[in-house]
A = this chain, B = another copy of it.
């Protein structure tokens, strides 16, 4: 390539990266040669030489869930214009994969890492703390993040729902959460819900756990155990899909919502506004989570010190017909 333009390799490199520092004549010659030869610079070699890859890694549980996919979309939209590429890895909700993926991404010399996990698996945590790499933990707000965190206060979400239900006059609450303790998001919401009920003088909620909180039918199946024994008058599901499943179950069983049973979820999935009755839920800014994470990562990659270390993006209780 340098030969085709009759200049040295450095000059080609400069034309590509800092054109201002090259004479006009040399520059036009190089540009013409690039066009003519169809030259595509080797970014791999560039990364090795410069020790900067211009790639950011993003680790999420899955892309099949719109919640995480739109976070990744946010990251992509934030860093793309700055010329960074996005390498995605999915764990399939398996915490052990977090460490393996983080390791693989470190090996690719990513310039930064965004990982959708509050508390990291111990191995991954140590690895990243040792790596001196810009890292953003997404979704949750740990006490002591590896580097930075962007998320939503899960306990506050549960608390807001508890206050709403209590304010509506419901007195016999129930709670459906994710069975896997690794799902710390669900756990935080449940914790806040329970604590606030107690503070308001309501009885502790009957608790149920779902193995697969992303399967709507599993929500419908929870109706029977939920109604056994003393019947609750309201139920909080830590995720929308289960709440919608429950709603469908109620429709089939002829149980009036919210007359006999009020239902609230979290996530404000596209479905929530459309089901009948429309679901009361909590809107979490999925896309903005990714967008802000991407923006903060850019600043960290540029070497800035970013404060505060934990950014709480907040949420919005969306009251609809189901409560």
| Chain A residues with a Cβ under 8 A of chain B | 38, 40-45, 47-48, 53, 55, 62-64, 66, 69-70, 72-73, 76-77, 80, 85-90, 92, 103-109, 127, 130, 244, 248, 270-271, 274-276, 287
Q: Which residues of B lie under 8 Å from residue A77 when comparing CB positions?
A: 90, 92
Instruction: Assess the A40–B88 pair: CB atoms within 8 A.
Output: no
Q: How far is the CA of A271 from the CA of B7 in the complex (A)?
A: 60
Q: How far is the CA of A116 from the CA of B249 in the complex (A)?
A: 38
Find A86's partner among B43, B73, B88 (CB 8 Å cutoff). B88
Find A107's partner among B42, B48, B105 (CB 8 Å cutoff). B42
If A69-B69, A271-B270 touch, whether A44 touches B48 (CB-CB below 8 Å) is yes
Q: Which residues of B lie under 8 Å from residue A106 when comparing CB positions?
A: 40
Instruction: Assess the A73–B47 pair: CB atoms within 8 A.
Output: no
14 CB contacts below 8 A, A to B, read A43-B108, A44-B47, A44-B108, A45-B48, A63-B72, A63-B76, A69-B70, A69-B72, A76-B88, A77-B90, A80-B89, A85-B87, A85-B105, A244-B274
Instruction: Assess the A63–B69 pair: CB atoms within 8 A.
Output: yes
Instruction: Assess the B73–A63 pair: CB atoms within 8 A.
Output: yes
Q: How far is the CA of A103 from the CA of B16 in the complex (A)?
A: 14
Q: Which residues of B lie under 8 Å from residue A107 when comparing CB positions?
A: 40-43
Q: Which residues of B lie under 8 Å from residue A45 when comparing CB positions?
A: 48
Q: How far is the CA of A41 from the CA of B270 in the complex (A)?
A: 43
Instruction: Assess the A80–B90 pair: CB atoms within 8 A.
Output: yes
Q: Which residues of B lie under 8 Å from residue A41 when comparing CB positions?
A: 107
A92 to chain B, nearest CB (A): 8
Instruction: Assess the A85–B63 pair: CB atoms within 8 A.
Output: no
Interface centre among A69, A130, A244 (most CB of B within 10 A): A69
Interface centre among A44, A130, A244, A287 (most CB of B within 10 A): A44
Q: Which residue of B lies closest to A276 (CB)?
A: B276
Q: How far is the CA of A106 from the CA of B41 in the complex (A)?
A: 9
Q: How far is the CA of A89 from the CA of B64 in the complex (A)?
A: 17
Q: Which residue of B lies closest to A270 (CB)?
A: B271
Q: Which residues of B lie under 8 Å from residue A108 when comparing CB positions?
A: 43-44, 55, 85
5 nearest A-B pairs in the assembled complex, by CB-CB distance: A69-B69, A63-B73, A64-B73, A43-B107, A44-B47
